[in-house]
Structure 1
Amino acid sequence: MRPFACRLSLAAALSLGVALAAAAQPPAPAAPLARPPLVIKPVKPELFMIVGAGGNTTVRLTGEGVVLVDSKNPGQAIYDELVGDVGTISGGKPIRYLIDTHHHADHTGNNGRFEAAGVKVVGQKNLAAELAKFTPPPNNPTATAPASPDITYDKTYDIKLGGKTVRLLHFTPAHTDGDTIVYFPDLKVIAAGDELTAVAPNLDYVGGASISGWIGALDQVLKLDWDQAIPGHGDRPMTRDEVVAFQGKLRTLLGRAREQVKAGVPKDQLIAAIKWDDLWTFNPTFWSAPGRLDGFYAEASK
């Protein structure tokens, strides 16, 4: 019995050693989370929004082809899925135009792929200038700038396709200095890019942002005849009342900041001094982005 007991003890010890060694190994890295699929949402007849993978994409159908607004984050898989979804919506009609609402890569990321497919890309002239200043972010040093538009404009530009008019409007620097509001007059809908969002606004001062300009641009937007506004981020269109409320928050934010600066609050204490609970919740690192606090303080000092 002793040899058997010894062998059993040895086997148990070996098993325990293997288990302890396994426990000592670092856990295997978790598999990256799969990107959620894009979601198609009807807005009005012949008008859709596609949500996910960056900024919202707007799809306008006509009898002669499709007009898109914004092309999402860069990437072949995102591009392929987006084109596939547009084909599903349109019944295979060709994409003729892509409109950039501003230069950020979550809205212009696939410009080059669309251009290579023969699509005309249109953007405000300052957008092209901002893309020319592109520098890779520290967390993605190999990133390259999105392709610039084929067609640029200053204040207004009309796309006419299949008997429909899509009007591009640039009012004043707002979210960036190259923003475009896309107006579908026959449907009474606008696509606003990040001049309207369901989340906190991105004050891109390095890209030419201006809160006072933003407020003024929304004044002009509200003069147009529309009843739904497709935001740059958010899973549904906004109403006129929601746009008025968004503009009101911008006005309140700038007013409060100016009050604090006038009272002598220094730049490094400005954010903490502002009452935020009835406005937006910003990411803790938001104000540490290069140039953002400097630009905000400078505007509040005017």
Structure 2
Amino acid sequence: MFHAMTGCAMLALCPLSAVAQAPAERPPAPGTPATIPVLSKEIMPGLFLFTGRGGNAVVRATPDGLIAVDNKVMRESVFNELRDAIAKRAGDQPIKVAFITHHHADHGGSNARIRADGAELIGHSNLPAILTTYTSTIAPRNPAPPSITFEREHRVTLGGVEAIAYHWGPGHTGADIAVYFPDQRVVVAGDMLHMAGDPAIDILDGGGSLIGFRDRIDDLLKLDFVLAIPGHGENAVTRDEVKLYRQRIQQLIDRGIAAVRRGVKPDDLRDAMRSDDLGFRLVGHFWTDPRYIAPIHAELLNAAGQP
């Protein structure tokens, strides 16, 4: 049994019958992270990072079962591969508590399977509504919704280990959460820290925000952590690395604000913000699809104090 303690939390229960049946396998698009096998490493004693096959997944072992954060892409073979990798690292224990950092199918593809195995699946209260309009090119259907939702903060204690989930506002999406393990001073940030590539702002239907993306890093830095685990990438990062990443994001935003003040229109915004020197190429649909660029342009206009 686990004992969940909520602080500032508004809980909503979703019946397990709402969880979709396991979908048929569909190969991932070539070149996506789903083509990379699941690899694992121990970040702290009993805290394991699983890379490959989509976004990063994290598992914390406790005497009473496992706490998981995210669960990769929606394929039966990937779920089995992840489950085997977890068993090798953390022992053959069940996942009792599972957090989902946001709605994208490379992070929550196995939500339904984890719920069907009996775990409590915890996410932000915006997540169910976002999932009703979300469509993915890497999954045959949307991830299952959480069974427990919260507004600002949700605390769980399992086997003497406390995990605290926080939502501070929109950033990568409108339902981002970070999961903090205070005893080890480690935070699992999901794509709030998208450090393996460009900042990904799902601003169209996902409720994200470029300015909020920066602000969420500021919120992360208010936590007393020594290591942060990004949503992608092979390693945890230090507090100083997060600070440097925040500086790069601020420089990107500053270039965007300067561009809109010069009168740059949405069609030319990406070129005006081009930032190879910062390590950002601004490729992929979040930066090339006009439907995403237009609201980013509007957000920068607002930040610049222009109508």
Matches within 5 A, 1:69-218: 69-135=69-135, 137=137, 143-196=140-193, 197-206=195-204, 207-218=206-217
CA spacing shift, 1:242–1:95, aligned 2, 3 Å: same
Aligned-partner Cα distance in 2 for 1:178–1:115: 19
What residue ranges of structure 2 are gaps of 5+ in the alignment?
1-29, 303-307
State the TM-score, normalized to the length of structure 2: 0.83
Shift of 1:223: 1.4
In 1, Cα distance between equivalents of 2:186 and 2:258 = 36
Q: Secondary structure at the match of 2:267?
A: helix
Of the structure 1 ranges 104-113 and 273-282, higher mean CA displacement relative to structure 2 is found in: 273-282
Note the C-alpha offset of 1:285: 5.0
Q: 1:45 to 1:271 in 2, by over 3 A?
A: same
- Determine the structure 1 residue equivalent to 2:222: 223
CA separation in 2, counterparts of 1:284 and 1:39? 25
Q: Which letter does structure 2 place at the counterpart of 1:124?
A: H
User: Compared with structure 1, are the counterparts of its residues 113 and 163 closer, same or farther at alpha carbon in structure 2 (3 Å cutoff)?
Assistant: same
Identity %: 38
Q: Secondary structure of the residue that 2:131 maps to in structure 1?
A: helix
1:39 — aligned with what? 39
Matched residues in 2 for 1:168 and 1:133: separation?
A: 24
CA change 1:249–1:64 in 2 (3 A) is: same
Deviation at 1:143, TM superposition (A): 2.1
How much does 1:254 deviate? 1.2
Aligned residues of 1:63 and 1:162 also touching (Cα < 8 A): yes
Q: Find the aligned partners of 1:36 and 1:264 in 2 and give their Cα distance.
A: 43
Report the Cα distance in structure 2 between the residues aligned to 1:126 and 1:265, rounded to whole angstroms: 33
What is the identity, as a one-letter code, of the residue corresponding to 1:248?
Q
TM-score, normalised via structure 1 length:
0.84
Tell me which amino acid in the other structure corresponds to 1:69: V
Q: CA deviation at 1:81?
A: 0.9
| 1:149–1:272 distance in 2 versus 1, CA, 3 Å | same
If asked which structure has higher relative contact order (CA below 8 Å, sep 6+), I would say 2
Higher mean C-alpha displacement, 259-268 vs 68-77: 259-268
Cα deviation, residue 275, structure 1: 4.3
Tell me whether 1:252 sits opposite 2:251 in the alignment.
Answer: yes
Equivalent pair of 1:205/1:291 in contact (CA under 8 Å): no
- Mapped to 2, the partners of 1:168 and 1:36 lie a distance apart of 28
The answer to whether 1:50 aligns with 2:50 is yes
Q: Residue 267 of structure 2 contacts residue 290 of structure 2 at CA under 8 Å; is this kept in 1?
A: no
Structure 2 CA distance, aligned partners of 1:289 and 1:41?
36
Which deviations, in whole Å up to 9, do the C-alpha atoms of 1:42-63 show, x marking residues without a partner?
1000101000000000010111
- State the shift of 1:198 in Å: 2.4
In the alignment of these two chains, the number of paired residues is 268
Residue 192 of structure 1 aligns to a residue in which SS? strand
Matches within 5 A, 1:226-241: 226-241=225-240
1:7-47 deviations in Å (ceiling 9; x for gaps): xxxxxxxxxxxxxxxxxxxxxxxxx9994421011100010
CA distance 1:242–1:97, shift in 2 (3 Å): same
Are the aligned partners of 1:199 and 1:234 in contact in 2 as well (CA < 8 Å)? no
Unmatched tracts of structure 1, length 5 or more: 1-31
Contact kept in structure 1, 2:43 and 2:49, CA below 8 Å? yes
Between the aligned partners of 1:222 and 1:286, the Cα distance in structure 2 is: 25
The equivalent residue for 1:300 is 300
The structure that has the greater radius of gyration is 1
Please list the CA deviations of residues 133-187 of structure 1 after superposition, one character each: whole Å capped at 9, or x if unmatched: 12354xx7x8211100000000000111001100000011011010001100000
Give 1:269's aligned amino acid.
D
**What is the alpha-carbon distance in structure 2 between the residues aligned to residue 35 and residue 293 of structure 1?**
28
Task: Summarize the Cα distance change of 1:179–1:73 in structure 2 as closer, same or farther, 3 Å threshold.
Answer: same
